[in-house]
């Protein structure tokens, strides 16, 4: 079935999103497909450029919509807009900024079903997970609506008594925000909310696979009264060219990036030229430790959450299950049973618990990693044949994976559980940290002292003890080593968009 929504929108932007899907899938809301620059929804300024940006439904490979494909000149326009709006936005009261964010939280929550439908259509996850993403994404708006009024400074008498120091916090300036496809709403709100709370204006560049959610969210921001130019959106099939133009512009003062370590490294280098403030939320390779004294049922439940949330396409997905050899058989069998019970299908079908991967290329990449782990000696406990040309991958469980296999050294980003045995606590911690990544680690045990040792030993920015999920708007999310720089969420997330100014005067 293919249909076109015709709903009018208050802002008058294009709303002719073509929608495809099975009869079980609801009609999608109208979504803008243009660039948002200085409060206007507009076409690209590029002349003679024939490229276009088609958004596909990963469950069917059908084209959902064609959005405007920004060129570098549009990027300059977006920076003009963010720069022109900055001075007045930075001078709005923290309370005013907080109340706008609160209004956005309320409206987003009211429109959960619309946003969930769009997320599922363009990204593939089951509707229940898309609703959970809307709740999670909305929490950043609520949290930073409250934090906007808490950007405090300090006051101190100099140690020699001659002067008084006051520190104040000021917005860093127009900021470039780049987001990935796996959480198309939450990764945007996790950046936009603290940036706006701090008084920064932004240019948002969403992932080319999932621009519709970001466009719909930015339309919502204009609807609640955000002034023109405070948030600008560039959708593009040429991220390298468009982002280079922005990073070369001296008016941009900050880059916040969420995505792969590989691209993050390139962007860090590019940011050096303008000495930009940077926040980098990069890839992970999470260890999930199960000790022999763990509550096994709880560990298996936690493993399913840590592995299958977002179909395994999450930076905090458990990538390596490191399990005491004495319980590996029991743990593997129980995990296999739960993985086998997943209902694989299109995300818009209410019965589905595991949707497609983002595209066929990523699915094929994951299947190749599984094949190579098996060639290296891993035992496949669950591995269904892979259908050519489809983005679907049924859950896979591999036991006794060899630590030297390529699947151990990179993010699997798929519903594939790889299980490694260990014989001592020291070996477990050593295996866990044997990676360049350091985003999150999980540990299951009933021994409090062992859990405490795990919390201190794991080389990562976040640790989940006896739980398989750590994401929370009120907690500092971020990694160490190659997993990134800076934190998002909590009060730390606001600091990423603030500079400290120190003022001194004689007493
Ligand atoms: P990606 O790095 O390919 O793309 C991320 C963003 O960067 C997209 O918007 C893309 O258009 C843009 N981009 C790509 N090449 C670029 C270039 N040369 N110049 C400028 N921008 C460019 O990552 P992805 O495949 O979209 O997302 C998956 C990755 O994101 C995984 O590695 C995952 O771990 C990571 N991730 C990390 C977090 C975190 O908080 N640490 C959260 C979600 C995803």
What is the per-residue pLDDT across 364-379, written as a single tens digit (0 to 9) for each? Answer: 999 999 999 999 999 9
Write the pLDDT tens digit of every residue in 278-292.
999 999 999 999 999
Q: Do residues 357 and 392 lie in contact, with contact meaning Cβ atoms separated by under 8 Å?
A: yes
Domains and CATH numbers, the chain: 22-282+487-500 (3.40.605.10), 286-473 (3.40.309.10)
Determine if ligand 1 sits within 6 Å of the CB of residue 282.
yes
Q: 151 pLDDT band (50/70/90 cuts)?
A: confident
Single out the catalytic residue among 25, 218, 315, 460: 315
Determine if ligand 1 sits within 6 Å of the CB of residue 15.
no
Provide the b/e sequence for 304-328 (b: ≥16 CB within 10 Å).
bebbbbbbbbbbbbbbbbbbbeebb
Determine if ligand 1 sits within 6 Å of the CB of residue 281.
yes
pLDDT recorded at residue 77: 98
> What six digits make up the tokens of 385?
């044949």
**With 80 as the cut, is the pLDDT of residue 8 above it?**
no
For residues 391 and 314, give the distance between their C-alpha atoms in angstroms, rounded to a whole number.
Answer: 16
Q: 6 pLDDT band (50/70/90 cuts)?
A: very low
pLDDT recorded at residue 52: 81
Q: Give residue 286 CA to ligand 1 midpoint distance, Å.
A: 17
Atom 42 in ligand 1: which residue has the minimum CA distance?
315
Measure Cα distances from 51 to 31, 236, 288 in Å: 21, 9, 43
**With 80 as the cut, is the pLDDT of residue 20 above it?**
no
Question: Is 348 assigned a catalytic role?
Answer: no
Q: What is the mean pLDDT of residues 164-180?
A: 97
Q: Do residues 330 and 337 lie in contact, with contact meaning Cβ atoms separated by under 8 Å?
A: no
Single out the catalytic residue among 122, 281, 411, 488: 281
pLDDT recorded at residue 18: 38
Q: What is the mean pLDDT of residues 467-472?
A: 97
pLDDT recorded at residue 9: 34
Atom of ligand 1 nearest to the CA of 362: 25
Q: Which residue has the higher pLDDT, 305 or 152?
A: 305
Q: What is the mean pLDDT of residues 148-177?
A: 96
Lowest mean pLDDT among 4-13, 115-124, 235-244, 296-305: 4-13
The 3-class secondary structure across 296-336, one letter per residue, is: HHHHHHHHHHHHHHHHHCCCCCEEEEEEEHHHHHHHHHHHH
In this prediction the pTM is: 0.95
Determine if ligand 1 sits within 6 Å of the CB of residue 176.
no
For residues 438 and 186, give the distance between their C-alpha atoms in angstroms, rounded to a whole number.
Answer: 21
Q: What is the mean pLDDT of residues 324-339?
A: 98
> What six digits make up the tokens of 190?
């996790």
Those residues whose C-beta lies under 8 Å from the C-beta of residue 441, and which sit 6 or more positions away, are 286, 287, 288, 289, 432, 454, 458, 459, 460, 462, 463, 464
**With 70 as the cut, is the pLDDT of residue 22 above it?**
no
User: Which residue among 259, 280, 479, 489 is best mutated to probe the pocket of ligand 1, counting the most ligand atoms within 8 A of its Cβ?
Assistant: 259
Alpha carbon 446 to its chain centroid, in Å, reads: 31
Strands 318-324 and 416-422: parallel
Q: What is the mean pLDDT of residues 395-411?
A: 97
Q: What is the mean pLDDT of residues 199-222?
A: 98
pLDDT above 90 covers what percent of the chain?
92
pLDDT recorded at residue 409: 96
Determine if ligand 1 sits within 6 Å of the CB of residue 133.
no
pLDDT above 70 covers what percent of the chain?
94
User: Which residue among 263, 267, 486 is best mutated to probe the pocket of ligand 1, counting the most ligand atoms within 8 A of its Cβ?
Assistant: 263
Q: 4 pLDDT band (50/70/90 cuts)?
A: very low
Determine if ligand 1 sits within 6 Å of the CB of residue 345.
no
pLDDT recorded at residue 395: 98
Determine if ligand 1 sits within 6 Å of the CB of residue 438.
no
Those residues whose C-beta lies under 8 Å from the C-beta of residue 434, and which sit 6 or more positions away, are 403
Under DSSP, the state recorded for 354 is B
Q: 47 pLDDT band (50/70/90 cuts)?
A: confident
Q: Give residue 504 CA to ligand 1 midpoint distance, Å.
A: 42
Question: Is 281 assigned a catalytic role?
Answer: yes
Determine if ligand 1 sits within 6 Å of the CB of residue 104.
no
Which run of H or of E encompasses 85? Answer: helix 72-91
Q: 25 pLDDT band (50/70/90 cuts)?
A: low
Q: What is the mean pLDDT of the chain?
A: 94
């Amino acid at each position: 079935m293919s249909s076109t929504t015709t709903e009018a929108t208050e802002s008058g932007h294009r709303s002719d999103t073509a929608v495809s899907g099975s009869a079980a899938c609801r009609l999608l809301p109208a979504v803008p497909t243009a660039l948002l620059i200085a409060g206007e929804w507009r076409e690209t300024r590029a002349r003679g450029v024939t490229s276009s940006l088609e958004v596909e439904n990963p469950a069917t490979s059908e084209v959902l919509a064609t959005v405007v494909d920004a060129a570098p000149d549009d990027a300059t326009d977006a920076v003009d807009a963010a720069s022109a709006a900055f001075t007045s936005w930075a001078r709005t009261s923290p309370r005013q900024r907080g109340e706008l964010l609160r209004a956005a939280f309320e409206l987003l929550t009211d429109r959960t079903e619309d946003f969930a439908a769009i997320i599922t259509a363009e990204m593939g996850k089951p509707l229940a997970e898309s609703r959970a993403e809307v709740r999670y994404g909305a929490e950043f708006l609520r949290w930073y609506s409250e934090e906007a009024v808490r950007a405090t400074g300090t006051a101190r008498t100099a140690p020699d008594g001659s002067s008084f120091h006051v520190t104040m916090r000021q917005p860093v300036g127009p900021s470039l925000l780049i987001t990935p496809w796996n959480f198309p709403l939450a990764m945007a709100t996790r950046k936009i909310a603290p940036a706006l709370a701090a008084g920064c204006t932004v240019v948002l560049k969403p992932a080319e696979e999932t621009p519709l959610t970001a466009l719909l969210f930015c339309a919502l921001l204009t609807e609640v009264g955000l002034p023109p130019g405070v948030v600008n959106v560039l959708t593009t099939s040429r991220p390298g060219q468009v982002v280079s133009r922005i990073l070369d512009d001296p008016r941009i003062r900050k880059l916040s990036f969420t995505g792969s370590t590989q691209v993050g490294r390139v962007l860090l280098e590019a940011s050096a030229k303008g000495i930009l403030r940077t926040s980098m939320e990069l890839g992970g390779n999470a260890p999930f430790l199960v000790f022999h004294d763990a509550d096994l049922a709880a560990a298996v439940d936690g493993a399913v959450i840590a592995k299958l949330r977002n179909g395994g396409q999450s930076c905090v997905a458990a990538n390596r299950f490191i399990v005491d050899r004495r319980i590996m058989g029991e743990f593997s069998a129980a995990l296999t049973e739960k993985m086998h019970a997943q209902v694989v299908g299109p995300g818009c079908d209410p019965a589905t618990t595991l949707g497609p991967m983002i595209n066929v290329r990523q699915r094929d990449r994951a299947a190749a990693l599984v094949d190579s782990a098996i060639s290296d000696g891993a035992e496949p406990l669950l591995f269904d044949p892979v259908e050519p040309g489809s983005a679907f991958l049924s859950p896979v469980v591999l036991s006794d994976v060899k630590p030297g296999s390529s699947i151990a050294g990179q993010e699997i980003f798929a519903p594939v559980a790889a299980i490694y045995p260990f014989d001592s606590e020291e070996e477990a911690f050593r295996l866990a940290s044997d990676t360049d990544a350091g985003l999150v680690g999980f540990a299951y045990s009933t021994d409090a002292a062992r859990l405490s040792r795990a919390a201190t030993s794991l080389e990562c920015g976040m640790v989940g003890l006896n739980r398989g999920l750590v994401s929370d708007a009120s907690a500092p999310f971020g990694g160490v080593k190659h997993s990134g720089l800076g934190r998002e969420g909590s009060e730390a997330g606001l600091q990423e968009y603030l500079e400290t100014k120190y003022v001194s005067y004689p007493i």
